[in-house]
Amino acid sequence: MTTTQSKPELARPPFWRDVRVLRVVGQIAAVVVVFFLLRYFWGNLVDNFNRLGISLSFDFLNSPTNFAIPYHQGPDGFAANSPLWEMVLIGVQNTFLAGFFGIILASIVGLIIGVSRLSENWLINKASMVYVETFRNIPPLVIIIFFGFALFFFGPFPIFRESWEVNFFGTDNLFLILNKDKWGVPGLTQTGNLGLFWIVLAIGIVAAAFVWRWRSRMFDRTGQPHHRVLWFTGVLLAFALVGYFATGQPFEISWPALTEDRRLVEGGFSINWGFISVTVALGLYTASHIGEILRGSILAIHTGQSEAANALALSGFQRYRFVILPQAMRIAIPPTINQYLNLVKNTSLATAVGYADITALTKTSIGNGRPTFQSVVILMAVYLAFSLIISLILNIVNRRLQLVDR
């Protein structure tokens, strides 16, 4: 005869000693404390503003700006009597452009520098080391000022009236206009209704994403090369071409040209010297940090991975492309997010070279008598939005690259 012994039930501790209860109570207490602190500070702010007769309203955004923005004047552009909210939009646009192209430049140069730091070629290895030790040990503001003045004010480029002009191959169209003030490059000009074209292009992006996923699943099932990038690009270009001709060619290439008095650039796309200085300076500065992050990530990959790639007779490029870099990116992306965020926030230094980013325009607006508190709140909200969007996108990419437990 066998008897089964039941496990003794553990006595639950009283609630004042229960860790789960204490954890919940602690969180509630923290929220309550933060709430009352914020309420106290906000009440104190409102009382002081009321005592001084200062309004907390954001209605000032509808008032005239009362100052011009460099490189944004024109009959269809920004005027001094334009409302302040349009100035904010221009500042956001300029900050976005400097940050976006700076991130692209920093990523490309950082990748090259990171791989070059591990090169067996003595010259390439030492040159990349000098690059890193030079740029990462100089404040970004100094680099911005250096590029602004060494490249433009005292650089080799001529004054505007004596601009260098480069023709497109075999044509009379100008491909490039260079001077100390701004550069002219080809752009696109609208000739029809772009709405339908953008709809077709959006459908093409969705279709290309489905093709990307289909090729990925084919690779998982069969092991054959997926060529996702080629398929994605091909489908997207096909939809773009169909949309372009089906909607009556709603845009065309616009070539840059100087006016007869050689004082303005008409047509094409103009890039002012402040934008070039900020973008190049911050891109090269951030690349020195990204290069070191990537170098450390590559060194964290087990040497057996390279040995296996060599055993498969992969070339150096193939070894990095298919074996080393995909694994290194899993390590490199989290710290690289911080570098991208720093680059976007460092665009606030663009005021040193006269670039009209959101910080420079906000400072000018405050100097013209606009409310400081509301202006700074808007400025903080803009940078917070940029940071959260960048973090969201790269965190999604980071999760996609992580290994999945099976």
Task: Judge if 285 and 389 occupy the same domain.
Answer: yes
Domain that holds residue 209: 187-254
**Is 136 among the domain residues?**
yes
**Is 48 among the domain residues?**
no
> Tens digit of pLDDT for each residue in 97-115?
999 999 999 999 999 999 9
Which tokens hold the place of 279? Answer: 């973008």
Q: Please list, in sequence order, all residues whose beta carbon lies within 8 angstroms of the beta carbon of residue 243, skipping any fewer than 6 positions away.
A: 196, 197, 199, 200, 201, 204
> Tens digit of pLDDT for each residue in 69-98?
888 765 556 787 889 999 999 999 999 999
Q: How far apart are CA 22 and CA 20, in angstroms?
A: 5
Task: Judge if 280 and 379 occupy the same domain.
Answer: yes
Task: Judge if 209 and 337 occupy the same domain.
Answer: no
Task: Judge if 302 and 335 occupy the same domain.
Answer: yes
Which residue, among 184, 235, 189, 182, has the nearest Cα to 209 in the 3D structure? 235
Query: Which of 254, 289, 308 finishes a domain?
Result: 254
Q: How far apart are CA 271 and CA 355, in angstroms?
A: 11
Least confident of 138-152, 161-175, 385-399: 161-175
Task: Judge if 280 and 397 occupy the same domain.
Answer: yes
- Residue 390 confidence (pLDDT) above 80: yes
Number of domains making up the chain:
2
Query: Which of 254, 289, 304 finishes a domain?
Result: 254
Read off the pTM: 0.85
Query: Which of 221, 254, 287 finishes a domain?
Result: 254
Task: Judge if 208 and 346 occupy the same domain.
Answer: no
